[in-house]
Structure 1
Amino acid sequence: MNSIDQMRERKLQEMYHRIQKSPLYKKKLAHIESNDINLHHLHTLPLTTKEDLRKAGIFGPLAVDKREIAQYHESTGTTGIPPSSAWFTQRDLLTGGRQLKECGVHLSAEDLILIRFPYAMALPAFLLQQAAWQTGAGVVPASGRTVVTPPYPRVLCLLKQLSVTVLAGLPREMELLAETARLEGTEVSTAFPDLRALCVAGELMSDKRKAHIEKLWQVPVFNMYGSTETANIATMCEYGTMHIIEEDFIVEVLKEDGSEPVANGEKRLCYDHHAFSSRFTTTEIF
């Protein structure tokens, strides 16, 4: 067994015992013998679906004492009622920041990042802020979709006046900001000489859409993939390829009914990237 698998197995065992405190998993895993859990057993464990999380209620996924809670979040990308709940400790948030540090944008103390993700029930703004703090980058919290949100012309002014180097938000925000600039008679491709990159998440990002946004802004776009329940799962490297954060996640590609793994090399379409199934989705996953 190589070193990364040894680390994964240790984390899996630690997590497996920890989540027994969660009402959801205490019930779900009651019939599983946990004395010798290892990576080879992973495919035998029951899946957790969005529906499971909704049925578990607000406190169902919670696996720590309330005194350890740092933040509460809810899924925002689905139409399910009620939304699924996610509880985060300080350790979870630090881990989420570390995961986003893997992004090819390579934040540093020289950067000033304007965060346009909503500072609300969604998670990306908080994790990206953690990544900025961990790398020494400065933050401009220009939250979107709130009553105190700076309007688009004001965001453009902030980008210019503050010499922002990295802009982060939904892909749609990048398109709307570019259109606002166009209506004002400005081209974003030349108006912000200090801007070096865009970080996006939260919406489907095809190769064509990525190329379109890069053409508008004339800087590289770095996509991030995850969910409220799992935090960040994959980030895009400097060459534009998505990489799973293997330190924290083992990704299984299953048939649509979840019955068995898909054969190596076989392709599967994901129609709704929020309608996932996983083995575990709770605080401090690994």
Structure 2
Amino acid sequence: MNDTSSGLPQLGQWNDMADVQRLQEKQLPQTVVWAARSPFYRERLNSGALPTTAADLAGLPLTTKQDLRENYPYGMLGVPKERVATYHESSGTAGRPTPSFYTEEDWVDLAERFARKWIGMSPEDIFLVRTPYALMLTGHLAHAAGRLRGATIVPGDNRSLAMPYARVIRVLHDLGVTLTWSVATECLLWAAAADAAGYRPDADFPALRALFTGGEPLTDARRKRIMRIWGVPLIEEYGSTETGSLAGECPHGRLHLWADRALFEVYDPQTGAVRVEGEGQLVVTPLYREAMPLLRYNLEDNVSVSYRDCACGWGLPTIQVLGRAAFGYQVGTAKINQHRLEELVFSLPDKYGVLFWRAKATPAQLRIEIEVPDEHREAARAELAALVRTAFGVDSDVAGLSPGGLVPLSVLTSMSDVVKPRSLFGPDEDWDKALLYY
């Protein structure tokens, strides 16, 4: 955790935020020089002296996702192409992509930030990486961090026919996987797949010691449910393809911004005001990013940042990622948001076995579907409808579906036939698979 061989700041090397701010101010001029090498920032910074302090930097306009799209592919690149180690694009990009470039040196910073897990990562660990590798940063980031700490990596990928859920469970069990990285929903899908394979998640995977998750909003109720199911800590991570890891969880369950490696601001899109803390959209300036420096990049994520002390002693600001908490759909006189609705679903008694749900909100009605065993269906339906009524003041149509109604059993148990392209087939073979591999 405190390896200083890279020369980058490490946890424990400062006493308070004043020390962290001195680290920021020392590195910022170099960051701006790197930025000025890219076509985009060369034009933005050419009107005067380069910013050298955080106060100077505040005079620059925010960099937006649209700026990245409009400067695709190389307008944000600040190093010669031959120095680029990897290229990535974020998920969910509509239309023109948002490009991200990293050098080998950038990757040292990326891997170290992700590896700041309070539970530790070591050569004794077998680490299942179960997030996408294609174009996004997330799978490669966890892979690099695990290798940095000497762990054995199981590159499980996601959305891949080569790694169906039945195979995930086999690997988790047979290899004695100790750590995993995925979105939180995966942990519930694994639990269902383990049950389908005849395993108990909290008893039949004794090597497992922690679940690392990120990439989607996670309510406290769902988090606690996952931990009860698996019997191990769930440790959150926050970041993006454009920036890498921005915050990690301390032993006291709070997400801390890596302020020794980046500058953070909070932007209020309603007023245009920018503050160091409070609620708004997170603005970040990575301090050790050379390939594609970003100055005051607005992630557009709704967050709440605080500088109150934490018992962990890390001396770093904390962040709550609000995500869609403030976003919702109108049903009658109520605004229904996913965060609150998820809290209600996962506050149902564990004995009901509800893991999967979905809802549709229209101005006239809120319809909710939950997977629930037959023997608990009526009780679960009635209790959830009552919880919704109390929380939102509206009636809801709650439907109880038999297990498999939302996540088919075949998804949890099948093994895909992944084949390589071929052109010659025998008399009893299906030659419609010619040239196809899936």
Q: TM-score, normalised by structure 2?
A: 0.59
**Aligned CA distance change for structure 1 residues 238 and 93 (closer, same or farther; 3 Å):** same
User: Is this contact kept in 2: 1:96–1:231, CA < 8 A?
Assistant: yes
Q: What is the deviation of 1:228?
A: 0.8
The higher radius of gyration belongs to 2
SS at match of 2:128: strand
Q: In 1, Cα distance between the equivalents of 2:71 and 2:254?
A: 35
Query: Quick one: which of 138, 147, 162 aligns to 1:124?
Result: 138
Flag the structure with higher helix content. 1
Query: Quick one: which of 166, 181, 186 aligns to 2:194?
Result: 181
1:81 correspondence with 2:90:
no
User: Is this contact kept in 2: 1:225–1:234, CA < 8 A?
Assistant: yes
Q: TM-score, normalised by structure 1?
A: 0.89
Identity %: 31
Amino acid at match of 1:37: T
SS at match of 1:48: coil
1:225 correspondence with 2:238:
yes
Q: In 1, Cα distance between the equivalents of 2:175 and 2:123?
A: 15
Q: What is the deviation of 1:239?
A: 2.1
Corresponding residue for residue 251 of structure 1: 264
Q: In 1, Cα distance between the equivalents of 2:251 and 2:258?
A: 15
Query: Quick one: which of 102, 107, 121 aligns to 1:107?
Result: 121
Q: In 1, Cα distance between the equivalents of 2:196 and 2:43?
A: 56
The structure with higher relative contact order (CA 8 Å, sep 6+) is: 1
Q: In 2, Cα distance between the equivalents of 1:26 and 1:256?
A: 26
Q: In 2, Cα distance between the equivalents of 1:25 and 1:257?
A: 26
User: Is this contact kept in 1: 2:262–2:285, CA < 8 A?
Assistant: no
User: Is this contact kept in 1: 2:265–2:283, CA < 8 A?
Assistant: no
Amino acid at match of 1:110: E
Q: What is the deviation of 1:222?
A: 0.8
Query: Quick one: which of 83, 87, 98 aligns to 1:68?
Result: 83
Q: In 2, Cα distance between the equivalents of 1:257 and 1:55?
A: 24
Query: Quick one: which of 181, 195, 202 aligns to 1:168?
Result: 181
Flag the structure with higher strand content. 2
Q: Which runs of 4+ in 1 moved over 3 A?
A: 276-282
1:5 correspondence with 2:14:
no
Corresponding residue for residue 110 of structure 2: 96
Corresponding residue for residue 48 of structure 1: 63
The count of corresponding residues between Structure 1 and Structure 2 is: 276
Q: Which 5+ residue runs of structure 2 have no aligned equivalent?
A: 1-16, 296-438
User: Is this contact kept in 2: 1:47–1:278, CA < 8 A?
Assistant: no
Q: Which 5+ residue runs of structure 1 have no aligned equivalent?
A: 271-275
User: Is this contact kept in 1: 2:265–2:276, CA < 8 A?
Assistant: no
